[in-house]
Structures are given as structure tokens and as C-alpha cells.
Structure 1
Amino acid sequence: MSMSDSFIHDLRQALGDDQLLVHEQIEPRYKTDWSKASVCEPVAVVRPRSTEAVSAALKVCHAHGHPVTVQGGMTGLVGASQANDGDVVMSLEFLNGVQEIDATASCMTVWAGTPLQLVQEAAQAAGLYFAVDLGARGSCQVGGNIATNAGGNRVIRYGMMREQVLGLEVVLADGTIVTSLNKMLKNNAGYDVKQLFIGSEGTLGVITRAVLRLHAMPTETTTVLCALAHQDAMVSFLRRVRSMAGPSLLAFEVMWPDFFSFMTERVPGNVSPFERSDVMAVLLEVATGDAGLANDVLEGLLESALDAGELTDAAIAQSGKQADAFWRIRDSVSEFPLLFAPYASFDVSLPIQSVCEFVTTLKSQLAKDMACAQSLFFGHIGDSNLHIVVHVPGPRQTFPKDAIDAAVYELVKQYHGSVSAEHGIGTRKKPWLGYSRSPAEIEVMKVIKKALDPGQILNRGRVIDF
């Protein structure tokens, strides 16, 4: 029996045929992520149905020194779940479902393979609210959201995924099960071990279950689309909104003029409520009603911003349908592959005070280095997160991706920002990690990785090199 046959034999013995796919049984969906940037040939796909099955599979892989790529909903943007040839793919799709909702403690226990939308709906059915929301809510899985420390539109109010996790169950590379399904907000008994795994992109352990924090359901929300008078008014307007709205502020999304024009002129169905489409727009969402901001206070906020010359116009959504239409302008980024290809996209963080200067500098630099370059800017500026999309006309084969990457990340480094705000590092941002993390920080990451995965089998080649 060859070493490969012996390995598959041991996996089959540990799991049985119903949790293992090999050879022609392996469907194309396990071989690539949503981007279709590369296709691999895994040696096997493991689909565990319990934490114990995850442990059994990892024990075999650890004993054989065989690399494992952990997959969730495959909606990540940095290649963290894209397997390599010969890997074992561990798909968590069958670790799916809400195990318990504890309304008294305002938390829920879920399996890692549970789609985010199912979590949101289960919380809502219990009269509670799960705060993280992403465009991929129907496909992405909670385990992946935790492993990448997902963000989304309401970080300004509730924080990242890290702030929503009370407890975790994780299986280490050698099969050791670490169960810490804590439900308490206060628990200072030693190191908070779960924090190691949140944002680790599957490199330190496989998350199998999580206790998620829930919040009171916002009884009513109001969406406002605002037209800034000029770019430099953004910071003062944000200060005003924070001061007057306080914890009722749920979202502060900024769209620079080129982005807003693109979305309202080129994307079918999107319409600007303003006379002009080349405005710098801010999309506000605030909690209103009995538990939120009073309508007269919201109106006073907008009037004071208009009087101060920060805004030239503001449209308050008069219905849920109109609110959805405003959000669709911001969220129609799925149209880029159809209308803006070839392009490069970026997810970075910057000090809020420097964002506008960064945008102006980068646009100028790209125009100087690549005369035909078109760049669009938007993002969750209330929590420092800027998204950038750069298009250069021409065939994909000659698209200057490396030059664009260098221009963006060199400037991010210069402004003391982060090369990854909410998408993670994976394989695609790994060359730039040192632009945002010091050598000492990266060395600590390596020490942790070597301690928890000495055989380097989990998501090999992601985040850091050895």
C-alpha cells in the first residue's frame, strides 16, 4: 500500500464513507473559491458531522503531516480558503444549525457551518438581533466570519465579529478539542484563549461551535442619503453625527463622486435622489423610534449640517423600499466584474483624519503612473475602512496589477494604515503584511502558530511564512 493509499485508508477508517469524498466524488465547488482565480485538485474532501469527527480527521492528518485547508462558505476575498493541489479540504457545511438561544443571557450557540442569514433570522424570531451583516449573508458561514473577524456595515455601532463572540469550541491541529462555550460577558479567568482563533483564518485551529452575543432588536431605523458640500466636510460631518446621534448611529457609509456617479449612471435600477450624480455622498442609518434618535433630533442634525455648509442636500427615506434603494447604490459592487473589468479592489484602513488626503494623493499618483487608470472610492469611513477599485482599460493579460498593488500599499504604509481592514490576509495580501505589522508582531504570530500547529498542516501558506 502506497503512502497516499495508507493515508486515505486511515481517513476512511476514522470517518467512514459518508463523511469522505475522494477522486471523482470531489465536486468542482471544493476546488476553487468564488473568484475562480485558481483551481486545485484536493486528495480528499472531509465533511464532518460532529466536533468528534473533525478531531478524528485532524488526528489522521497530523499523524501523516498532511496539509488541510478549511472551507466555509467560500466567499472570502483573499484566498484563505482556496486549497492547494494535494490538500485535504475540510468543509464545515454539515456542521450547520442553531443549537440553542438563551434569551436571558442574550446569546445563541451555533455550529460553525451555519449561514449568517440563518443566524440573523433565528435571532429575529426570538425577538433579538445579531449585529454583524454582510452582503454574502446567504452564503457565508459563521465559522468563516469568526475566522476572518468579519466586519460589515454596522461596525461603527456594534464592533467587528470579535465583539460578538462570547465562547468558542475549537479543534487543534493534532485533534485536541478545546471547548469553552462561555456565555458570560465578564470572564477574566486567565488568558482569553478564544481571541487567538478569531481572525486567525483557520491557521491555528478549526472552529466548530460558537456562542454569539445578541442585542436588543432595533425597533425602527431611518436611512438618510446626504450630499456633502465638499470632500473636506466629511470629517466635521462625522463628528457632528457622532455627537448628536450617539449610540443610535448604525452606519456611516461614504461614496466619493466617481463611485456615486458610476453606481447611479451605469448600474441599471439605481437612481440618484439629487439633481447631480457627481456628489460625494454619505449614507446614514440611525436607530429611531422609542429606543433611538427622535425624529426632530435627526432633522435638527441635518439642518445644522446644512447651515454649517457641510451638506448641500439630504434625502430621508420615506419607506423601507426607498431605504433599500439608497443602500443598493452603496452595495451594487457585484456589478464591477460586468461593468468595470479588468479591475483591482482593495480593503484598507486609515486614520479617519487622513482618509480624504489619502484619496486625493492616490488618485493623483495613479493618474500620473497610469494615464488611463480610473479609481473609485467608498467605504465604512465611520470605522476607518476604505474600499478602493482601480480599473485600467485593456486586455486582462496586460492589466498592471502588481504596479497598482504597490502604489496602494506603499501609500497605506506611508499613512500608517492597515493593508487589510476586514477581509484578512490569506495568500493574496501576505506579501504586504509587513507594511502594517512590525517584525516583532510577525515573530509573535510565528511563535503562536508553531506552538498550536507544529506540523504546519492547517491552512498552510496563509497569513505568514516560515
Structure 2
Amino acid sequence: MDMVTPVERPDQLLAALRDKLGAAAVLTGTDVPARNCNDWSASLPQTPRAVIRPLDAQGVTDAILTCRKAHLPFVPQGGLTGLCRGASPEAGWVAISLERMTGIEEIDRASMTMTVKAGTPLETIQKAADEAGFFFPLDLGSRGSCAIGGNLSTNAGGNRVIRYGMTRELVLGLEVVLPDGTIITNLNKLMKNNAGYDLKHLFIGSEGTLGIITRVVLKLFPKPRSTMAALCALKDYAAVIALLDAARSGLGPLLSAFEVMWPDYWDVITTRAGVKPPVAAGHGLYVLVEAQGTDESLDAPRFQSWLEELMKRGLLADAAVAQSLAQTQAFWRVRDICAEFGQVLGPHISYDIGLAVAQMDEFVTRCKAALANGIKGCESVYYGHIGDGNLHLVSWVTGLSVEQQPKEEMDAIIYGLVREMGGSVSAEHGIGTLKKKWLGHARSEAEIALMRTLKAALDPDHLLNPGKVI
């Protein structure tokens, strides 16, 4: 082995990589941008030793080989909108950022696919699909900032999972660079392809621990020609379950979203966030129902008559129906305002859990009481996608900074109850490092052992995003 000082050799190797890829591709020292030091989690930022910004898969390979020669851990980064430190570096690591690997490479109308670079923002993909006469259904509140590669790495969910599934259901092919620098290119467009293992699923949801995704083939869908939305007020959770059943049977494939908000959430957004409520306060729960179809002349009357029938049956205590795109967007504003809770509530801790739909309200009741009784001054609010088994909650103690919030105590109460009720500690945000301690609450020892076996097989030197997930 070449015996050089441990400080000298990494610096020399990074300088050589800068000469190869260009000055803008390798940033070190004071040139490292603050954005590359953390994701959107509330954890403390850590400055990486370098940020490498390749333009293609070969550049990613060059970056990986440089890190391997210098024995430097490296972490892939996209839009950095994650909430679990999955893409955050530790001090001394190298960040391999895909921020310059952006763009739509191809839209194949016959196959209804789009091939994109992994650093492309989700909103860019949505707009490109729309302009081409198609629809890409993945949708998150961070759509303008998050990158599609990060969406894949966390198997993002979002607002329309009930109809279109999680991100992995929207992907046909991948190009990925392995931890040893090998480029695997399988930009498959075939819906039916059973030729051996479907390797893309190894990397989707692995949070950048098994490989770095560089290009993606996405499924496109026919563009909806009609969108209907209603904000409904209901007496209790039994009525919510009945409404979900009625939506599934009465709207069928038109049902695209089913968002539920508990009264504490409604109180916060209407009294503290200044949202003008489409329906009055004082009800047991609130539900945003969205349906998308292909013929407005037929779909809108069908949606209206469906709601009227539910009103006649006494299932709905109140309801407001959107009469325009602006009103639909206003209804979604009620649900999406949670992205601004940092300004509305101040410092708080966000949670993303999975539970059986029938158990949601029981969890909310028990969790709210346990937090209030177990942590002095702890408040919490609850909301979520529900139709796909995903509940979100935020908890906080007023007057405390993010660092002072009793997160460990909150985690123990919330995730302990999740385990007791057979749920998941992460429905769509991933594990990263912030939930790593609690992975065993949702996965068996045998499952975690298999994850470690896969990690060791692909990354025996443990240099790619080490310490994340498992």
C-alpha cells in the first residue's frame, strides 16, 4: 500500500478528481454549501469534507472510486428534503450530490414512460408529463425541492397512494452505481419483464445504502380530465370508515385521495394558521375526498349525486364541494398547511407511522393521552392519508427549542404504542439515523439480519452511507 499521510492522500485524490471532472464538480473547505450539511430534519448540520457534483453515472463512479481510495465514507444527496437524516453527512464524509444531474431525457408516448436523471425535481417531472398530455401521480408537499432519486431511495408515498401506489409502483427501470463503482444500467420500459430478479426493488427504499440511483424510467398515466373534491365533516371515526368504504365502492377507480384530519389539527390550522375553513368547526373529524376522472360532464354529476346520497343517509354532518380549480386548491391548502407548522407551532417533532386503518382513532386517543400524561406540557395534533394506512402527527412542548424538545421520551411513547398495535415506525419517510433505534419495533430480527447480509454483500467496506437504516 502507498504509505502517505492520512490527511495528504485524500486531499490529493480530491484535487485529482477536480482536475478530471472540473472545478465546479468538487467543492471543499469554505466552498462547501450549507445546503449539503443536512436534510430537513431538526438535527444539527455536519460539514462534509467535500461535495462532489457529477454530471452522469461515470462521474458518480469516479467519485466513488476516489472515496474508496481515500477510505472516506460517502453519502448520496438529492433535494435534501428528507426528515430522518438519510442523506445527511457526518463530519469528514464526502457528499455525492446529484443536483447537477437533472433533466428529462425522453418521453415515450407509445410505452407511456418518461426517462429522467435522478437529480430532477419532482415538480419538473410533473410539469413535463402534463405538457406532454400525461400525468405523473407522485405528489408531495416538497414537490418543488425534492429530487426523484431521493423519492425512489425512500420509496416516497404522498397524497395519491390510495389510487396509484407508493413510488416503487411508478418505476419500471433504473440506472444505479454500486458501492464499488460498477454501473448497472437497466432502463427497462417493459411492464412485463420476468427475466430473473427484479433488481430495481433492491435499491428503491434502501435510502442510498446499497447503491446510488442515477437515472430512472417512470410510468406515466392518462391525464385526468376532471377533478372533484369535497371537504366533509363527520361525527366520529366510525363514520370516517363508512365514508371510506362508500368512496371505494361508489367512486371506484376515480378515488384519488382520502385525507383525514382530527379536531386538534382543525383547531390549529383555523385558529393559529389563519386558514379559512370550508366547513364549520365543532365536528368529530374532517375528511378531504378527491376523485379524478376522464369525462367532466359525467364525473362531476356522479360525484355530486354520490355526496347527496351520503347526506341523505346521515353519514355526513356537513360538506363543501369545490366548484372550481381554485376551490380545489383551497381545499388542499387545508391539508398541506402542515408544511408550515414550523412557523405556526414553533419547534416541534414530526412523526410518520403506519397502522391498520381500523386502529387509527384508537391510536390517536391513546397516544394523545399518553403524551399529555407522560410529558409535562406536551401537545400533539393528528392527520394523515388514512386510506393507505398512513398517520402523521406532530408533538411539542411550548417554549422549548428543537434541541430542548423531549424527543427521546416522545419517541418511546409513540413508537412503543406503534409496536403494541402492530404498526410501522415509518410509513413513507424512511429510517435514516433518527429512527434506526426503533427499527426493531416494526421489523423482526430475521428481517434486520437479512438487511445486514444484503448490505455486507454490496458494500463490504461499509463506505456507502454507513450507519444508516440498520
Match of 1:119 among 115, 125, 135: 125
| Residues 1:287 and 2:326 are matched in the alignment | no
- Alignment-mate amino acid for residue 398 of structure 2: P
Q: Is the 8 A contact 2:383 2:392 kept in 1?
A: yes
User: Aligned residue for 2:248?
Assistant: 242
* Structure 2 match to 1:2: 5
SS of residue matched to 2:416: helix
The equivalent of 1:419 in structure 2 is 425
1: CA distance between counterparts of 2:130 and 2:294? 18
The Cα RMSD (Å) is 1.6
CA distance in structure 2 between the aligned counterparts of 1:43 and 1:107, rounded to whole angstroms: 38
Q: CA deviation at 1:341?
A: 2.7
Gaps of 5+ in 2: none
In the TM superposition, residue 6 of structure 1 has moved relative to its aligned partner by 1.6
Alpha-carbon distance, 1:23 to partner = 1.5
Distance in structure 1 (CA, Å) of the matches to 2:42 and 2:435: 17
- Provide Cα deviations, 1:399-457, integer angstroms capped at 9, x if missing partner: 32211111100111111110000000001000000000000100110010001111111
Contact 1:165 1:213 in 2 (8 A): yes
Q: Could you report, residue by residue, the CA deviation over 1:250-300 in whole angstroms, capped at 9, with x for unpaired residues?
A: 1000000110121122112x1112233555110011014517963333223
Preserved CA contact (<8 Å) 1:260 1:279: no
Q: Give the structure 1 partner of residue 134 of structure 2.
A: 128
Kindly state the Cα deviation for residue 367 of structure 1 after the two structures are TM-superposed: 2.5
Aligned to 1:320: 325
How many residues get paired? 463
Q: 1:251 corresponds to which residue?
A: 257
CA distance in 2 between counterparts of 1:45 and 1:398 reads: 31
Correspondence for 1:92: 98
Task: Determine the structure 2 residue equivalent to 1:333.
Answer: 338
**Which has the higher mean CA deviation after the structures are superposed, 190-199 or 372-381?**
372-381
Match of 1:441 among 447, 459, 464: 447
Instruction: Give, in angstroms, the shift of residue 230 of structure 1.
Output: 1.6
- C-alpha distance in 2, partners of 1:400/1:333? 21
- Aligned partner of 1:70 in structure 2 is 76
Instruction: Give 1:333 shift.
Output: 1.2
Output the CA distance in 2 between the equivalents of 1:179 and 1:139: 26
Matches within 5 A, 1:187-266: 187-266=193-272
Query: How far off its partner does 1:305 sit?
Result: 2.3
**Does residue 41 of the first structure (1) align with residue 47 of the second (2)?**
yes
Distance 1:83 1:329, change over 3 A: same
CA distance in structure 1 between the aligned counterparts of 2:189 and 2:99, rounded to whole angstroms: 25
> Is contact 2:13-2:70 (8 Å) kept?
no
Conserved 8 A contact 2:354-2:389: yes
CA shift at 1:231, angstroms?
2.3
Aligned equivalent of 1:378: 383
Corresponding residue of 2:359: 354
Kindly, what percent of the aligned residue pairs are identical? 47
- TM-superposed CA distance for 1:338, in Å, is 2.1
TM superposition shift of 1:337? 1.5
Aligned-pair CA distance for 1:303 = 2.5
- In the other structure, the counterpart of 1:102 is 108
Report matched runs for 1:156-175 at 5 Å: 156-175=162-181
- Shift in Å, 1:36: 5.6
What does 1:24-39 correspond to in 2, within 5 Å? 24-35=30-41, 37-39=43-45
Which range moved further: 87-96 or 336-345? Answer: 336-345
Runs of 4+ in 1 over 3 A off after TM superposition: 14-17
- Is the CA contact (8 Å cut-off) linking 2:433 and 2:468 kept in structure 1? yes
Whole-Å Cα distance in 2 between the matches of residues 229 and 65 of structure 1?
60
Residues 414 and 395 (structure 1), Cα distance of their counterparts in 2 relative to 1, 3 Å cut: same
Which 10-residue stretch deviates more, 387-396 or 27-36?
A: 27-36
Deviation at 1:82, TM superposition (A): 1.0
In structure 2, relative to structure 1, the CA distance for the partners of 1:275 and 1:88 (3 Å cut) is: closer
Query: SS state of the match for residue 7, structure 2?
Result: helix
For 1:156, the aligned partner's letter is: I
Whether the 8 Å contact between 1:31 and 1:83 is mirrored in structure 2 is: yes
In 1, distance between residues paired with 2:281 and 2:105? 50
Is the 1:260–1:278 Cα contact (8 Å) retained in structure 2? no
> How big is each residue's C-alpha offset from its partner over 1:1-46, in whole Å with a ceiling of 9 and x where there is no partner?
5333222322333434422111222122222223462121211111
The 8 Å contact of residues 245 and 293 in structure 1, kept in 2 or not, is answered as no
SS at match of 2:393: strand
Give per-residue Cα distances to partners, 1:299-351, cap 9 Å, x unaligned: 23222322333211111011111111111111111332223233221100100
| CA distance in structure 2 between the partners assigned to 1:212 and 1:149 by the alignment | 13
Q: Kindly indicate whether the alpha-carbon contact (under 8 Å) linking 2:235 and 2:283 is maintained by their aligned counterparts in 1.
A: no
Q: 5+ unaligned residues in a row in structure 1: which ranges?
A: none
Output the CA distance in 1 between the equivalents of 2:70 and 2:357.
Answer: 48
Q: In 1, distance between residues paired with 2:136 and 2:143?
A: 12
The separation in 2 between residues aligned to 1:376 and 1:354, in whole angstroms, is 17
Superposed CA offset, 1:337-373 (max 9, x none): 2232332211001001111111111122222223532
CA distance in 1, matches of 2:32, 2:348: 31
Match of residue 313 from structure 2: 308
Q: Are the structure 2 counterparts of residues 106 and 289 from structure 1 closer, same or farther at C-alpha, using a change threshold of 3 Å? A: closer
2:276 matched residue in structure 1: 271
Match of 1:404 in 2: 410
How does the TM-score come out when normalised to structure 1?
0.96
